[in-house]
A and B are shown apart, each in its own frame.
Chain A
Amino acid sequence: MSSTLTPEQESHGGTDDLQPFPTEIPREHYLNVEYGWKSWLFTLDHKRIAILYLISITFMFFIGGLAATLVRLNLLTPHSELLRPQTYNKMFSMHGIVMVFFFLIPAIPAILGNFLVPMMLGAKDLAFPKLNLLSWYLYMAGALVGIGAMVYGGVDTGWTFYAPLSTQYAYGNVALTIVGAFLAGFSSILTGLNFIVTTHKMRAPGLTWFRLPLFIWSIYATSLIQILATPVLAITLLLLAVERIFQVGVFDPKMGGDPVLMQHFFWFYSHPAVYIMVLPGMAVVSEIIANGARRPVFGYKMVAFASLAIAVISFLVWGHHMFTTTQSPYAGMIFSFLSFLVAIPSAIKVFNWTATLYKGSIRLHTPMLYVLGFIGLFTIGGLTGMHLASIAVDLHMHDTYFIVAHFHYIMVGGTVMAYLGGIHFWWPKMTGRLYNEVLGKTSAIIIFLGFNLTFFPQFIVGYQGMPRRYATYAPEFQVLNVLSSAGASILAVGFMLPFFYLLWSLKNGKIAGPNPFNATGLEWQTPSPPPTLNFDRTPVVTIGPYAYNPEADELADALEDVERAREDYEQTRTVIAVTNVQDALAREREEIRERREDARERAQEERDRDA
């Protein structure tokens, strides 16, 4: 059916046309066009590369999760009964390195971005398909080297690699781990480059900048950070490796180096990297919230510019990680000011998303539950960032569990929730199958509850003064740590659940059809799974994104209800009822026709205004 889409349907997103329930997936699509390992490992199709990323990043997520499990188990008791301190240090280092470099940074851009950016732009592929494949190979090389190093010998520096601990004193395979992160960094740079060029050069006819989905705006902002900040990380890691291997003094004061310089270098990348992790989450949220509320995102332009503002300001706040170092108090003051400033665009986004729900026709499907969870948790994570932006309070909070709680609210409560929401939202597009909705909602709720139980106690134990990265701790912190570990076990169940039912849906899920969420956006105007070149004809865009209409949707729902009622009555063969229903139906249809005319006219007016 999709091959016969009219331009009208393409531009409208088919919101007000009821889709007949699809019964089969298209005969040929990107997944079955070729078989065999070669067709995957040498593919240039952005969708297949996205699937490769999906598999490898999921694997890394469970490795990082395993390390986290051991960390939380060990913290059940104050005296480190399970692991030796050395092993504990390796575990939290592994957790941090894997989750940051091999999960959070690539997750949404490399999986969802890779899959969706060309489709949302109406393009056949990314601008540089070979570069795209190369970036996956770099990622894999980095991941394998990193994992190898961490399993074979381990590394106990934490993901921050502070010198001179990392260059002179740490045991284990620091240099090799650094090489892994270095390679993954290049993968990130190439992905960002690809997205930027594709967004500039390969938009479909009529797809102007302000008709772009907000997903693209956010991913674009992310890509800017990726290509501007990641090289700094690369060179910092290189300098660390040089100091460690060749004993060239760069950061170790005993060889004339400067350890605080290393922290400046590191955070110059790693603070923007926080936004590499969270901006794509915001990208997903904007898409899903519009779909779930059946109306356009409130304040489209503000949200788009907020993404760019975050990208720019994020480069100027790194010093707030260093209030307790020898950084000058005046520099600290400037960094504190800018850190408060970066809260503003994030606040704007949260307010705009919330306002999007107003006068919507809200469907609480699985992706929507994840996204509402995101907004709540991200709000808490963002607001607790202000404790840390104020120098006076940070002197107490720095390097305590308060920080751990804060950034997990952003990274897990924010990015991971958005990532899972996105995976659920576009899963039918990627695979052509629907997952079990009840299980989906259950997983979202379990994760939300488990998450809060895990990380909320850490705010308190942090304020009480428990430092992070402690294998053993003072006995008075035990109660809160036990709560936290209990929450982590719930969280683990929540994360395992989607893994199983999504896999199960591959064979047994209902056929999804091209647009199961009745969403706008070009990616929904093509069959699920899409053909290799995405679209049979290049789409032409005539209106902005999110052409949702909550009123029309309500009416369509009412119509559906009446139709269902009619079927029921027909089965009971009650003649009078049928007549009544038919009358009612006729009236409803008349009304719908009128309302729809109105809606069309309004849309037309808007289009004229746009033009």
Chain B
Amino acid sequence: MWDFLAFIPPQASTAAAPIDMLALFITAVTVFFSLLIALAILYFAIKYRRGNKVDRSNPPHEGIVIETLWTLIPFGIVMVMFVWSTTLYFSSVRAPKEAMEIYVVGKQWMWKMQHPQGRWEMNELHVPVGRPVKLTMTSEDVAHAFFVPAFRLKMDVYPGRYTQLWFTPTKVGTFHLFCAEFCGTNHSGMVGSVIVMEPEDYQQWLNTGNVPMTMASQGEALFRQHGCSGCHSPNSSLRAPLLEGIYGKPVPVQIPRGGVPLERVESTTIIADDRYIHDSIVLPEKEIAAGFRPIMPTFRGRLSEEEVMKLVAYIKSLSGGGNAGPNQGAGVNPAGGPMERRPATGPVTREEIQTRTGFTPGNMGDITTASEATPERGPAFRGQGTNPGGGVMGEGGIIRDPVRNDPAAPRNQGTGTGANGTTPGGAATGGTATGNGRTPQ
């Protein structure tokens, strides 16, 4: 039905036709009113041209009726557009649950796509036709935007956060992929193609070429390699939240406020989604699992966004891909949810963190100060799962310990520039871990 408009790009997603329809409506209104005004001007300019003998008596100076009319009619028309466009937008703003996920990292000036099954590609995105696809996107450097004109969709891609774009391709073929947000010198070279394939071709494609391991297994390897398992495992001697089953679930967290001791910060819950896991890895001071000491080192600058995505995929796989399955690892406390109970034995020293993770983290100052402080009674915000007596063997042979928080210990400094040596406590400033692509001058 769109053939009469030859200049319209191909419609290759479910979003395209409704958007074209709305755009066509607005264009029709545009053309109608532009012509109306242009013709009125021409008509008047000819009829009432100087010297033409026409009736010019009593030109109206104002007219309440007509002015109200041409206020209300345009208002009515734009409200039709508003309602139409907003309903259309809201009907498709959330990705369907069954959408297959693909991870996208933009960097100057290329796109890297990572399929969960393991295959990755540069500046090309292969997707099956007829199936909703959800892209989880982030950037290594500046802002980009993922734009596929044939899908009529676009979403900005930012460093340090995840954005999502979903679509259902409807047409097999190769379509333009553009970066739409100006991103520096070779912005116009940050282009590629989206290749929509028949589902069976896609399956075949997925299993050929570079398929080292699934993203989750790659993430698991990273989880060990970077020492995450040193704390986040049932057998660890350090008290850190277990990660099995948390994905997609509400988790209690404390969001530190400057100058307020952590134990006085009330806990709140947020959904443990991709963003939460990402931020917990690179900005661990931002939201602290409630009841735990802020001893997580930051991995900012030590992990690329791609690696973080693999870790996210791994943690997600621990929950059976978003739904907490029954196969939770040993040691989950059935009473208190997945984040309870982890032993902590004494203060965490630099050496200990170093042994566990293999590096001196950027927020080392915070970590050591917090942990070396005198143990106090924990806050009462989460009774379940913590033993107020302290140091008692709990079920499953795990030592419980009251939450320790030192009111005198400086909290993390908000922006997390732990590398600037502003943190007291004589800790290493960890200059290697600033994670800034460019060294500060």
The distance from the CB of A333 to the nearest CB of chain B, in whole angstroms, is: 5
Contacts A260-B158, A300-B61, A347-B74 given; indicate if A336 touches B86 (C-beta within 8 A): yes
Q: Is B229 interfacial (CB 8 A cutoff)?
A: no
Known contacts A169-B108, A254-B435, A469-B187; is-contact A392 B18 (Cβ 8 Å): yes
Q: How far apart sit A465 and B178, CA to CA, in the bound complex (Å)? A: 9
A86 and chain B: residue at smallest CB distance: B185
Closest to A247 in B: B440
Chain B contact patch, size range: 35 or more
- Within 8 Å of chain B (Cβ to Cβ): is A206? no
Residues on the A chain within 8 Å of B86, using CB:
333, 336-337, 390-392
Residue A153 lies at the interface, judged by CB distance under 8 Å to chain B: no
- Find out whether the CB atom of A380 lies under 8 angstroms from the CB atom of B34: yes
A83-106 interface bits toward B, Cβ cutoff 8 Å, 1 = contact, 0 = none: 001100100000000000000000
CB distance from B285 to the nearest CB of A (A): 10
B441 to chain A, nearest CB (A): 7
- A353-386 contact mask (Cβ, 8 Å, vs B): 1 or 0: 0110111111110000000100110011001101
Answer whether residue A510 sits at the interface, using C-beta atoms and an 8 A cutoff. no
- Cross-chain contact A361 with B50 (CB below 8 angstroms): yes
Please provide the chain A residues from 441 to 491 with a CB less than 8 Å away from any CB of chain B in the complex: 460, 463-465, 467-474
Q: How far is the CB of B190 from chain A (nearest CB, A)?
A: 10
Of the candidates B71, B158, B180, which one forms a contact with A399 in the assembled complex, judged by CB atoms under 8 Å apart? Answer: B180
Task: State which of A168, A324, A376 has its C-beta within 8 Å of the C-beta of B41.
Answer: A376
Which residues does chain B contribute within 8 Å of A375, judged by CB atoms? 37, 41
Q: How far is the CA of A397 from the CA of B8 in the complex (A)?
A: 12
**Which residue, B86, B142, B176, has most C-beta atoms of chain A within 10 A?**
B142
CB interface residues, B 20-51, toward A, < 8 Å: 22-23, 26-27, 29-30, 33-34, 37-38, 40-41, 44-45, 48-51
B71 & A344 in contact (Cβ 8 Å cutoff): yes
Q: How many whole Å from A380's CB to the nearest CB in chain B?
A: 5
Q: Do A296 and B61 have beta carbons less than 8 Å apart?
A: yes
Contact B37 A360 (CB under 8 A): no
Residue of chain A at shortest CB distance from B286: A256
**A394 to B395, alpha carbons, bound, how many Å?**
57
Of listed A170, A360, A393, A460, residue having the most chain B CB within 10 A? A393
A557 touches B147 (CB 8 A): no
A350, B73: Cα distance in complex, Å: 14
CB < 8 Å: which of A252, A298, A464 contacts B60?
A: A298
Stretch at the interface among A23-31, A128-136, A157-165: A157-165
Question: Beyond A300-B62, A396-B153, is A156–B415 a contact (Cβ under 8 Å)?
Answer: no
Q: Is the CB of B149 within 8 A of A464?
A: yes
CB of B44 within 8 A of CB of A358, answer yes
B404 on interface, CB distance cutoff 8 Å: no
B182: contacting residue among A158, A348, A463, CB under 8 A: A158
The yes or no answer to B93 lying at the interface (CB within 8 A) is yes
Does B348 lie at the interface of the complex (its beta carbon under 8 Å from any beta carbon of A)? no
B48 near A358 (CB under 8 angstroms)?
A: yes
The CA-CA distance from A594 to B375 in the complex, in Å, is: 104
> Given the interface contacts A383-B30, A471-B188, A554-B56, does A336 sit within 8 Å of B82 by beta carbon?
yes
Contact between B143 and A165 (Cβ–Cβ < 8 Å)? Answer: yes
> Which of A354, A364, A398 is close to B154, meaning CB atoms less than 8 Å apart?
A398
Known contacts being A164-B159, A324-B155, A324-B156, is A255 close to B41, with CB within 8 Å?
A: no
Contact present for B38 and A469 (CB under 8 Å) = no
Q: Interface 1/0s, chain A 390-410, versus B by CB < 8 A?
A: 111101111110000000000
Tell me if A295 is interfacial: C-beta within 8 Å of chain B: yes
Answer whether residue A550 sits at the interface, using C-beta atoms and an 8 A cutoff: yes
What per-residue 1/0 map shows which CB atoms of B185-203 lie under 8 Å from chain A? 1111101000000000000
- Residue in B50, B155, B180, B436 whose CB lies within 8 Å of A362: B50
Task: Return A592 CB to nearest CB of chain B, in Å.
Answer: 15
Q: What string of 1s and 0s marks CB contacts (under 8 Å) between A320-354 and chain B?
A: 00001110010011001100110110011011101
**Contact status of A390 and B184, CB under 8 A, knowing A164-B142, A463-B7, A465-B178:** no
What residues of A have a CB within 8 angstroms of the CB of B155 in the complex?
A: 324, 395
Contacts of A158 in B (CB 8 A): 182
A496 at interface by CB-CB < 8 Å: no
Which residues in B have their C-beta under 8 angstroms from that of A359? 48, 55-60
Cβ of B222 under 8 Å from chain A = no
Least CB separation from A256: chain B residue: B415
Taking the complex as formed, is A189 at the interface, i.e. its CB lies under 8 A from any CB of chain B?
no
Chain B residue numbers with a CB within 8 Å of A170 are 184
Give A395 to B26 CA distance when docked, in angstroms: 15
- Given A324-B156, A390-B22, A467-B179, check contact A256 B417 (CB 8 Å): yes
Contact B48 A165 (CB under 8 A): no
* Cα(A86)–Cα(B182), bound, Å: 12
Indicate the member of A162, A256, A296, A361 with the most B CB atoms within 10 Å.
Answer: A256
Residue of A nearest to B79 (CB): A340
Pick the residue among A260, A351, A465 that contacts B147 (CB under 8 A): A465
By a CB distance below 8 angstroms, the chain A residues around B62 are: 298-302
Does chain A have a CB within 8 A of B171? Answer: no
Query: B369-425: which residues lie under 8 A (CB-CB) from chain A?
Result: 414-417
Query: Is the CB–CB distance between B79 and A554 below 8 Å?
Result: no
Q: In angstroms, how far is the closest chain A Cβ from the Cβ of B20?
A: 9
Assembly CA distance A85 to B190 (angstroms):
12
B48 contact set on A, CB distance < 8 A: 293, 357-362, 550
How long is the Cα–Cα vector from A120 to B163 in the complex, in angstroms?
53
Compute how far the CA of A253 lies from the CA of B158 in the bound complex, rounded to whole angstroms: 9
Say which residue of A169, A326, A386, A557 sits within 8 Å of B50 (CB atoms).
A557
What is the bound-complex CA distance between A81 and B185, given in angstroms?
A: 16
Instruction: Decide: A343 and B22 in contact? CB cutoff 8 A.
Output: no
Which B residue's beta carbon lies closest to that of A170?
Answer: B184
Q: Are B154 and A399 in contact (CB under 8 A)?
A: yes
With A and B bound together, what is the CA distance between A37 and B189 in angstroms? 51
A299 touches B63 (CB 8 A): yes
CA distance A247 to B185 in the complex (A): 22
Q: Which of B9, B61, B67, B93 contacts A465 (CB 8 A)?
A: B9
Closest to B63 in A: A299
Nearest chain B CB to A53's CB is how many angstroms away? 31
Residue A264 CB within 8 A of the other chain: no
Q: What residues of A have a CB within 8 angstroms of the CB of B266 in the complex? A: none
Which chain A positions have C-beta within 8 A of B326?
A: none
Q: Is the CB of A554 within 8 A of B50?
A: yes
Q: Is residue B300 within 8 Å, beta carbon to beta carbon, of the partner chain?
A: yes
If the complex has contacts A362-B50, A376-B38, are A386 and B26 also in contact, measured as CB distance less than 8 A? yes
Which A residues are in CB contact (< 8 Å) with B416? 256
Interface residues of B in 297-355 (CB under 8 A from A): 300-301
The distance in angstroms between the C-alpha atoms of A299 and B65, with both chains bound, is 11
B152 within 8 A of A: yes
Give the contacts of A231-249 with B (CB-CB under 8 A).
247, 249
Q: Does B75 contact A (CB under 8 A)?
A: yes
Q: In the complex, are the beta carbons of A390 and B45 less than 8 A apart?
A: no
Closest to A262 in B: B143
Question: CB of A589 within 8 A of chain B?
Answer: no
The 6 closest A-B pairs by CB, nearest first: A465-B149, A253-B160, A256-B415, A390-B85, A357-B44, A470-B188
- Residue positions of B touching A, CB distance < 8 A: 7-9, 18-19, 22-23, 26-27, 29-30, 33-34, 37-38, 40-41, 44-45, 48-51, 55-63, 66-67, 70-71, 74-75, 78-79, 81-82, 84-86, 88-90, 93, 108, 141-143, 145, 147, 149-150, 152-156, 158-161, 163, 176, 178-189, 191, 283, 300-301, 414-417, 435-438, 440-441
6 contacts between A and B (CB under 8 A): A164-B143, A325-B156, A354-B37, A360-B44, A393-B85, A399-B147
The interface of chain A, by Cβ under 8 A from chain B, is 80, 85-86, 89, 156-158, 160, 162, 164-165, 168-171, 247, 249, 252-257, 259-260, 293, 295-296, 298-302, 324-326, 329, 332-333, 336-337, 340-341, 343-344, 347-348, 350-352, 354-355, 357-364, 372, 375-376, 379-380, 383-384, 386-387, 389-393, 395-400, 460, 463-465, 467-474, 550-551, 553-554, 557
Known: A85-B188, A372-B41, A392-B89. 6 other contacts (CB 8 A): A300-B62, A359-B57, A359-B60, A376-B37, A386-B78, A464-B149
